[in-house]
Amino acid sequence: MEVKQEILTPMKVEKTNGNVPTPPPTTTTTTVMDDDLFDDEASPPQPNKKLKAENGSIKKLTPTPKPAPVTPKPTAAVNGKKPIPKKKPVDSSSDSDSSDSSSDSDSDSSDSDSDSSSSDSSSSDSDVPKKKPISKIPNKPSGTVSKTSKNSPKTTTTTTTTTTTVKSKPAPKVKPEQSSSDDSSSDSSDDSSDDSSSDSSSEEEKPKKKPSKKPAAVKKEITVKKETTTTTKKTPVKKEVEVKKETKTTTTKKVKKEESDDDGEDEKTTTKKKTTTRKRKLKEEEEGEEEEEEGVNKWWDKEDDEDDGTKWTTLIHNGPVFPPAYVPHGIKFMYDGKVVKLTPKQEEVATFYANYLETDHVKKQAFKDNFFKEFKGLLTSEQKEIVKKMDKCDFSHIHTHLKTKKEQRKARSKEEKDAETAEKKKIQEKHGFATIDGFKEKVGNYMIEPPGLFLGRGQHPKTGMLKQRIMPSDVTLNIGEGEVIPPSPIPGEKWKEIVHNNTVTWLAFWRESVNGGFKYVWLAPSSKIKGQADRKKFEVARGLKNCIGDIRKGYQKSFNDESTEKRQLAVALYLIDFLALRVGNEKGEDQADTVGCCSLRVEHIKLESNNTITLDFLGKDSMRYLNTVQIREDAYKVLKTFVKGKKPTDLLFDSLTVTQLNNHLKKQMTGLSAKVFRTYNASITLQKELDKMDTKEFQSIDEKILFYNRCNREVAILCNHQKAPPKNLAETMSKIDEKIQELRDLQDLCRIKIGKTPKSQQEDIESREAERLPKLIQLAITNKKDKDKEKTDKEISFDVKAAFEKSRTLPDAKGKIKEKIAKYEEQIKKQEILKTGKDELKTVALGTSKINYLDPRITVAWCKKNKVPVDKIFTKSLRDKFPWSDVGTDYIF
């Protein structure tokens, strides 16, 4: 049923990038809160009901027997475009909660107030944004943290506790000094030292360019070192290096293992290993223990560094890894039926294209045109005589070759796979970590992006252009002063530049060829440097909670200001706050046409009746935002004047710039900018939703998780986080339906046997049953693979039939039959839940908000309170990312 809708979405869809179906268009209106409420801090963020509307109300979980039948709501409006103005959100079926949540979002203002006050008390740093003075060396999280005590050696977190626990061992200190000792890093360092020397020498040759553009602003006295410098010191350097090396190694060693899995102990950390599960588990445990031995940098328990603009004191790493050189395959490329011989370079580019032959990319004219231009640019003049039109190029042989290769790869033996992973691991050990201020940290993206075709999202004018291969001479490294400079991994190549800029956090950067943009190598999210920034982000958002009331009052007051600028600013801010829109910076012509709040054009908004507006535009990543919502009457009236007399392509907020808006916000609160509203509204929404949990209804862990996901979903809808529906969604859904029907029929058969009335007509049951057997047989025949190869179709058919009949045989005892009915009921329930969950989440992406917008402490507190293991909600990498989120159940955002 609902199936189809995605497909039909209106043209708009196309605009979104081909594969992303637009969100379902249905819209609903939401009511606005009243002024008064609004004034309060608590005003609720708003309503992007679009997705929500789509499937109608959320079904209740039904722990109780009789699950409500899942009715797929009318998802009706399928076709987007114009939403019907006010469709009532919840349908009858929905129950209270869903309805509540939607409409009310506003209502609960009160709590926020209270929260605010309490907030301070709760977690560690209470302070508001900006910097915090707090001291407290030891564990500061006052909450109830069960957290690991600082010294106990292996604390295992209690189940519910959070995130990674830390290991024991006092954190190593930051000082690098130390005696020498062995060196684990020997190879790298050794090599490097040699190479580096050479490097440096080479570097000295080209000292001049340094001054020109340094990516990093060298502020204050950061030393930006160019090769020159290095050179000068060269000799000395070497020496120093040696010494340093030793020290360093030790340090490293000490620190090693900082990255722990910590909960490895408990059952499921997921390291990826391809051993069987059992094995894997064992392994993990071992690892876990090992790690326990080493110290960890529990930065979150310590006082924050003061914010003086420097991001680190010492920084050591081995540089990024470059993609392997191209290996020509010699497969023919044809033009107009004739083979055209290609050089390796040409062949490489042709191969990039061939790889996309079966994708939607090649359906875009821009992709083909851009590619062809690039490709032609590589051809010799003789070749150009022949190759003139893209349409006559035939990359199919190459494409076939690629496919074969892919299959081969998939089929490679276990040994090969193991060897490959071992190799990967080795590289990761060397390049995947950096030592920063004496602690070993994971590097996020230490692999340089391979060359290929640029795949922009949506209607990007540059899609299909060639992304050039990046060489060491394109890459600038940022490394601690005096540290060993890693040798260039490619012989004959030198690094573009070496800098020592401790006001930034990148380890390396290069410029990408298509848009001339910067690409950086950063530390992983689990690193202290990222973690602190992340925590700070949430602290700023929490700080907003204290001023949100004033800010709201402020902009509401300005709706009628005499200055157009002020009025526009006020309304824009209102939309950002209420609808969680992005701010919308200006964009160039050479980018996809997407907008945010400040860049909205008149064509993106429709003023309906009853103070309702419909926003329909492509936002970040060309994701369609479609929402019909009722807004404040005063805002509506002003908006009307902004639209008046303008062309569809004119800016809605023509007198407003993003800079003005942010400057205004900065004045209201330190650290405040437009994006903070998204973080704030997302987190506060999660907290409010979670607070609504009815513990009677959601009892099992699975039910609680389902509940959590629903709360998470509210946030995802608010932020318009979407995903393409699974490819075979329709199929999966109807499969589930079929299964449910079958279970029901089986139940009925049981009922008939014991003389009870079945739920459906006996003939219907029989006819459905009659259809099932042949289907099963057919399926078994088609599926017979190597395994039953020797069996004839007849035999299979016979076997299947036997199995089928066996499954329909009922015991004679009445009690047993009743048991059976109950069992089926359970299975049905399970399927219903599954279906409901799938339906609710088919186009909603929960991940983005979980990773970026939701204060993890809210989740941790909820988990503890409800005895849900955190690892059911946070994956390993999320737990690693939020080691600082271990708070007590009383944490309030």
Partner DNA sequence: ACTAATGACTCAGAAAGATATCT
Partner DNA sequence: CAGATATCTTTCTGAGTCATTAG
Paired sense of beta strands 452-453 and 466-467, if any: antiparallel
Q: Is 619 in the site for DNA (CB under 7 A)?
A: yes
Contact between 450 and DNA by CB under 7 A: the answer reads: yes
* Number of chain residues interacting with DNA (CB under 7 A): 97
Count the Cβ atoms, other than its own, within 10 Å of residue 41. Answer: 24
Q: What is the DSSP string of 380-395?
A: -HHHHHH---GGGEE-
Contacting DNA (CB under 7 A), which of 60, 399, 530, 552?
Answer: 530
Mode of pairing for the β-strands spanning 612-618 and 605-607: antiparallel
User: Quick one: 245 or 835, whose CB is closer to DNA?
Assistant: 835
Shortest distance, position 750 Cβ to DNA, whole Å:
20
Quote the CA–CA distance of 619 and 268 in Å, as a whole number. Answer: 38
DSSP 406-430: HHHHHT--HHHHHHHHHHHHHHHHH
Question: Token pair of 851, please?
Answer: 């990773």
Residue 735 · residue 728 · CB < 8 Å: no
Report residue 170 as tokens. Answer: 């006092």
579 lines the binding site for DNA (CB under 7 A): no
Interface region with DNA, contact rule CB under 7 A, candidates 91-99, 147-155, 208-216, 688-696: 208-216
Binding to DNA in span 862-881, by CB under 7 A: 875-878
Distance CA 578, CA 854 (A): 17
- Rule CB under 7 A: choose which of 726, 804, 810, 823 binds DNA: 726
Stretch that binds DNA, among 108-116, 155-163, 672-680, 859-867 (CB under 7 A): 672-680
Site string (81-120) toward DNA, x via CB under 7 A: ----------------------------------------
The window from 52-60, 377-385, 442-450, 862-870 that contacts DNA (CB under 7 A) reads 442-450
Note whether 543 and 41 are within 8 A (CB): no
Q: Pick out residues in 731-760 that bind DNA (CB under 7 A).
A: 731-732
Tell me which residues in 581-610 interact with DNA (CB under 7 A): 582-585, 587, 591-592, 594, 596
Distance of alpha carbon 80 from its chain centroid, rounded? Answer: 27
Nearest approach, Cβ of 782 to DNA (angstroms)? 9
Active site residue 824: no
Element (H, E) at 289: helix 277-293
Instruction: Tell me whether strands 333-335 and 393-394 are parallel, antiparallel or unpaired.
Output: antiparallel
* Neighbour count for residue 389 (Cβ, 10 Å): 9
Looking at residues 782 to 801 of the shown chain, list those that interact with DNA (rule: CB under 7 A): 785-787
For residue 405, with 0-12 CB atoms within 10 Å meaning exposed, 13-18 middle and 19 or more buried, which class applies? exposed
If one asks whether residue 414 binds DNA (CB under 7 A), the answer comes out as no
Min separation Cβ 509 and DNA, Å: 6
Encoded one letter per residue, x for contact with DNA by CB under 7 A and - for no contact, window 257-296 reads -----------x-xxxxx--x--x----------------
Binding of residue 326 to DNA (CB under 7 A): no
**CA separation for the pair 350, 505 (Å, rounded):** 37
Taking the C-alpha atoms of residue 676 and residue 682, their distance in angstroms, rounded to an integer, is 10
| Whether the Cβ atoms of residue 110 and residue 61 lie closer than 8 Å to each other | no
Establish if 458 lies at the interface with DNA (CB under 7 A): yes
Q: Of the residues 356, 555, 708, 853, which is catalytic?
A: 853
Q: Give residues 681-720 in contact with DNA (rule: CB under 7 A).
A: 719-720
Contact residue for DNA among 362, 402, 724, 730 (CB under 7 A) = 724
Residues 836-855 that bind DNA (CB under 7 A): 838, 845, 847-849, 852-853
Pairing of strands 508-511, 518-521: antiparallel
Q: Is the Cβ of residue 636 or residue 708 nearer to DNA in the bound state?
A: 708
| Nearest distance, CB of residue 246 and DNA, angstroms | 30
- What is the widest separation between alpha-carbon atoms in the chain? 98
Contact call for residue 502 and DNA (CB under 7 A): no
Structure tokens at 627: 């929402």
Which residues between 165 and 204 bind DNA (CB under 7 A)? none
Nearer Cβ to DNA (460/713):
460
3-state SS class at 376? helix
145 versus 878: smaller Cβ distance to DNA: 878
The residues carrying an active-site annotation are: 853
